[in-house]
């Protein structure tokens, strides 16, 4: 397996959004909200590509202590010594606008009611609901 000595067994973690590189740090472990459920990557993880759903990215044992970020849809590449996260939207917990998220949630629920027989609209409404709920859950 990978040589632990070179980087001291720390994962290099990057969080990239369409606007900027939000985070460039190291950590012992990273939790990722994959669209099929949470997964945790440690140093030496097998190469993996995963689609992320809405949820929290959590860094454990980093220089800045525990860090969490809310992400809504993205991609993660896990390599033995590196984790790169592409997130369409990424926010620190304190950046989350609670009232806006609540409005989004109501809007999504309304959209769900009005979806009628349109399958796509249902899926969209469900995704929006999930995103708003996760956002509220990770807001501080």
Partner 1 sequence: MANVLDLRRRIRSVKNTRQITKAMKMVSAAKLRRAQERAMEARPYARMLVNVLESLVRRTDLYNDETGDVMHPLLVEREEKNVLVLVIAGDKGFAGGFNSNIGKAAQRFIEERRRQGQTVDLEPIGRKAIGLYKRRYPAANYERTEEHYDNDLATHYETIRHRAEPIEVAAEHSDLLLKATFDEVAKLGRTIVERYERSEIDSVYIVFNEFKSVLSQRVVVETLLPIKKLGEHETTSLQEMTDDEKEAAAKAARESGVSVDEAETTAMDEEAKKFGTADVDYIFDQDPQQLFRNLMPRYVSTQIFHALLESVAAEHAARMTATDAATKNAGELIDSLSLTMNRVRQAAITKEIIEIVSGAAAL
Q: Where does this chain bind partner 1 (CB under 8 A)?
A: 14, 16-21, 34-36, 39, 46-51, 73, 75, 77, 79, 84, 86, 88-89, 114, 116-118
Nearer to partner 1, 7 or 84 (CB): 84
Nearer to partner 1, 28 or 77 (CB): 77
C-alpha to C-alpha distances, 17 to 7, 73, 86, 91, 99, nearest whole angstrom: 25, 11, 6, 10, 23
Dihedral sign for Cα 120, 36, 85, 65, please.
positive
User: How many other C-beta atoms are found inside a 10 Å radius of the C-beta of residue 127?
Assistant: 15
- Both tokens of 124, joined, read 């969209």
Name the minimum Å distance from CB 82 to partner 1: 9
Nearer to partner 1, 65 or 119 (CB): 119
Name the minimum Å distance from CB 57 to partner 1: 15
Name the minimum Å distance from CB 140 to partner 1: 21
Give the helix/strand (H/E) hosting 74: strand 65-79
Nearer to partner 1, 59 or 83 (CB): 83
Name the minimum Å distance from CB 120 to partner 1: 8
- Cα of 79 vs its chain's centroid, Å: 17
């Amino acid at each position: 397996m990978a040589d632990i000595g070179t980087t001291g067994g720390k994962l290099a973690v990057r969080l990239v959004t369409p606007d900027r590189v939000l985070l460039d740090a190291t950590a012992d472990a990273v939790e990722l909200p994959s669209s099929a459920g949470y997964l945790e990557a440690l140093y030496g993880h097998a190469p993996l590509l995963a689609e992320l759903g809405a949820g929290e990215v959590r860094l454990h044992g980093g220089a800045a202590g525990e860090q969490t970020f809310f992400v809504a849809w993205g991609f993660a590449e896990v390599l033995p010594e590196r984790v790169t996260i592409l997130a369409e939207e990424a926010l620190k917990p304190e950046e989350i606008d609670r009232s806006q998220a609540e409005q989004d949630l109501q809007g999504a629920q309304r959209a769900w009611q009005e979806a009628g027989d349109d399958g796509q609209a249902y899926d969209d409404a469900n995704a929006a609901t999930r995103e708003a709920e996760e956002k509220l859950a990770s807001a501080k």
